């Protein structure tokens, strides 16, 4: 509703169509007039969308990249739907512009999982512990490991028990040194109404 009332998507389309190199194809969902009011929990989780055309050295402006900025994102209830809806929007914009989809980038300032969904999430994450799913896929993390190895290194870094850290892991260790250790693999929020997510 916020997007359609001010024709932001149409403006973004026109800017991309008329000036393919534009950096002004932005849709803003956060409204300072409405979203600075106190004492209510229903603030938009999505802050902004950005569309950028890019290309290869053979063809300029033949791919549409999309970036989404989230204030708050619930991993269990919000993220799957957000990823589907926003990539569908990207594909729709590609269709009207006559270009191919490029990259999709999803940034969340607070990505969290509520305690009420923690047990359900184990059913999904336990299947990722099976290397048979992607036995040949490597390239994750700083050393090109298998997904499970990279995930475990990230956990060990967070718990400060990493052996032979890479330079980036050393940076994280130094950055995290003043923070308490939380052995939980996810940021668990106890109450869905806590921050109006």
58-79 pLDDT, tens digit per residue, is 678 889 999 999 999 998 888 8
Buried residues in 66-98 as b, exposed as e (16+ CB within 10 A): bbbbbbbbbbbebbeebeeebeebbeebbeebe
Q: Which CATH number applies to 1-109?
A: 3.30.572.10
The residue length of the chain stands at 197
Q: What pLDDT is recorded for position 51?
A: 97
| Percent of the chain as helix, strand, coil, to the nearest 5 | 40, 20, 40
Q: Which residues, given as ranges, of the chain have pLDDT below 70?
A: 1-6, 56-58, 124-144, 146-147, 176, 178-197
| Cα Rg of the chain (Å, integer) | 20
* pTM for this entry: 0.62
In the numeric block, the tokens 């290397």 are attached to 131
- Supply the pLDDT for residue 186: 43
Q: What is the predicted pLDDT for the residue at 192?
A: 47
Contact criterion met (CB below 8 Å) for 28 and 47: yes
Hey, where are the domains in the chain? 1-109, 115-197
């Amino acid at each position: 509703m916020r997007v359609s009332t001010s024709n932001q998507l149409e403006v973004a389309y026109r800017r991309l169509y008329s000036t393919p190199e534009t950096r002004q194809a932005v849709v803003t969902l956060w409204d300072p007039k409405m979203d600075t009011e106190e004492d209510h929990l229903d603030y938009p989780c999505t802050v902004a969308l950005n569309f950028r055309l890019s290309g290869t050295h053979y063809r300029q402006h033949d791919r549409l990249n999309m970036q989404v900025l989230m204030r708050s994102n619930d991993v269990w209830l919000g993220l799957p739907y957000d990823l589907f809806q926003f990539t569908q929007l990207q594909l729709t914009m590609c269709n009207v512009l006559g270009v191919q989809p490029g990259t999709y980038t999803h940034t969340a300032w607070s990505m969290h999982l509520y305690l009420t969904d923690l047990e359900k999430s184990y059913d999904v994450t336990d299947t990722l512990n099976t290397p048979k799913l992607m036995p040949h896929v490597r390239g994750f993390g700083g050393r090109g490991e298998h997904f499970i190895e990279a995930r475990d290194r990230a956990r060990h870094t967070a718990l400060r028990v990493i052996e032979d850290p890479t330079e980036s892991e050393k940076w994280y260790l130094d950055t995290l040194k003043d923070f308490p250790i939380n052995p939980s693999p996810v940021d668990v929020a106890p109450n869905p109404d806590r921050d109006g997510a």
